[in-house]
Amino acid sequence: MKLLLEALIKFTCGMLLVGLLLFLPAGTFGYTYGWLLVGLLFGPMLIAGFVMLFKSPELLKKRLDAKEKQGTQKGVVAISGLMFIVGFVVAGLDFRFGWSAMPAWVVVAASVVFLVAYALYAEVMRENAYLSRTIKVEKGQTVVDTGMYGVIRHPMYAVTILLFLMIPLVLGSMYALIAFGFYPAMIVVRLKDEENLLIRELPGYAAYMQKVKYRIIPYIW
């Protein structure tokens, strides 16, 4: 019950915050694409939360813990948070003042890609029971090299890049895309710092890096 209550509080606060950042700058609750994003973002999140609660409460507990202890990671998380705030506010203002026009088919396509990326996100969590929102190595942790981890070393980061680059398109804002466009660069910084830690603290990770050459894009990087 304690875990359920914590999850529901964070879920509700997150939804209210996103709504505030979108609809207040938009000046109206009639921002249709804003509601579309809220549904796409928090609907699957609610379902996934209950699945983890009953099937893997430890994984849910890890996903709720977002307090980074590494200096570099703290900076990345802070900048990422600022990026989200700016991106959502710009999208709301874009709708309010009509700065850009996004074709409806782009919004629909981005919504489909967003849901596919969400499904891949769930698959990554199923494959790796050690996933958490903070960078750390747990006692008894082993290298996962099956499924998507057999193709790229950081499938979670690859999926989140796809997810977050779809957000401004779902919101119908080209200007918000500029803000969210900084996210891949922040992931690169986070990823490299994480790999240095894993090499030092996770047995077998250096060998895994030799086996799986690519970080987030097969045959490219």
One-letter amino acid for residue 212 of the chain: V
* Extents of the domains making up the chain: 2-211
Architecture, CATH, for domain 2-211:
Up-down Bundle (1.20)
- Letter string b/e over residues 46-60, b meaning 16 or more CB atoms within 10 A of that residue's CB: eebbeebbeeeeebb
Predicted local distance difference test score (pLDDT) of residue 20 = 96
How far apart are the C-alpha atoms of 214 and 221, rounded to whole Å?
5
Query: Distance (Å, rounded) from C-alpha 1 to C-alpha 127?
Result: 26
**Whole-structure pTM value:** 0.85
Full pLDDT tens readout for the chain, 221 residues: 777 787 788 888 889 999 999 999 999 999 999 999 999 999 888 887 777 777 777 766 766 665 656 666 777 778 888 999 999 999 999 999 999 989 999 999 999 999 999 889 888 888 877 776 566 676 777 888 888 898 999 998 999 999 999 999 999 999 999 999 988 988 888 888 888 888 888 888 899 899 999 999 888 88
CB 113 within 8 A of CB 162: yes
Q: Quick one: CA dihedral 177, 125, 155, 79, positive or negative?
A: positive
CA angle in degrees (0–180, nearest 5) for 187-49-125: 45
Tell me, what's the pLDDT at 67? 62
**Residue 39, CB-side half-sphere exposure with 13 Å CA sphere:** 10
For position 99, what pLDDT does the model report? 94
pLDDT at 101: 87
Q: What is the pLDDT of residue 194?
A: 85
**Cβ proximity of 135 and 68 under 8 Å:** yes
Tokens of 10: 């964070």
Contact of 108 with 166, CB cutoff 8 Å: no
